[in-house]
Amino acid sequence: MPAVVAERERTESATGYGAERGDGDGVAVVPVGLERLVIQLTAQMRILVAVASIDFRAGIDGLARICLAQLQVDPFCGWLFVFCNRRRTAVKILTYDGQGFWVCHKRLSQGKFPYWPTDGPIQELQAHQLQVLLMGAVPLKARGVSAWRPLPRVA
């Protein structure tokens, strides 16, 4: 199973919108050692990539505001939201697990991500495509075996 290692950052404000809600069941959080947790990606997870680059000074509250204002999606839904900076040298992932927000940040040591979507405000990726994107390759070229009986999308 693909996984993203992240540091957990808990926030209570998150623009004050829905902070008390606990309906984001789509994120599996698995302990993998001392002080490290993993966000486990599953085939039925919704992963949305924001096409427009963002100001990477934005923290959890700023990313949640972008989800609401620009992407028109509730940041508390449990989906993964993927953002890039203007130079395409870094990626941030925001998700809500029912208790708090997680933010993952990857900055390349050299070069830039060769692929970023250009159509519409958001593009959906599959879990294996996100792994390919994070490794610095073109996710649309990653072909998996088609699902015999597709799983329902969570959150």
In a domain, 66, yes or no: yes
Q: Which residue has the tokens 């599996």?
A: 28
Task: Find residue 28's DSSP bridge partners.
Answer: 40
Residue 87 lies in a domain: yes
Q: In this predicted structure, what is the pLDDT of residue 13?
A: 42
Q: What does the pLDDT read at residue 30? A: 55
User: Residue 65 is part of which domain span?
Assistant: 3-139
pLDDT score of 88:
94
Let me know if residue 153 belongs to a domain: no
Q: Which residues pair with 5 in a beta bridge?
A: 38
pLDDT at 18 over 60: no
Give tens-digit pLDDT for 66-107.
999 999 999 999 999 999 999 999 999 999 988 999 999 999
Residue 146 forms part of a structural domain: no
Q: Identify the bridge partners of residue 124 per DSSP, sorted by sequence position.
A: 48
**Per-residue pLDDT at 22 exceeds 50:** no
Dihedral of the alpha carbons of 54, 56, 60, 61, in degrees to the nearest 10: -60
In a domain? residue 53: yes
The total domain count for the chain is 1
Q: For residue 60, what pLDDT band results from cuts at 50, 70 and 90?
A: very high
Whether 154 is in a domain gets the answer: no
What does the mean pLDDT of the chain come to? 79
> Average pLDDT in the 22-44 region?
60
State both tokens at 27: 């994120």
pLDDT score of 150? 72
82 domain residue, yes or no: yes
Q: Which of 5, 18, 13, 150 is nearest to 77 (CA)?
A: 18
pLDDT digits (tens, 9 = 90+) for 34-58: 556 667 787 788 999 999 999 999 9
The answer to whether residue 147 sits within a structural domain is: no
DSSP labels, 30-93: EEEETTEEEEE--TTB-EEEESS---TT--HHHHHHHHHHTS---GGGS-EEEEE-TTSSEEEE
Describe the strand order of the beta sheet including 36-40 as a list of residue ranges. 28-33, 36-40, 3-8, 101-107, 90-96, 80-84, 47-50, 122-125
In percent, the amount of the chain with pLDDT more than 70 equals: 72
> Which amino acid is located at 48 in the chain?
L
| CB-based contact 23:76 (threshold 8 Å) | yes
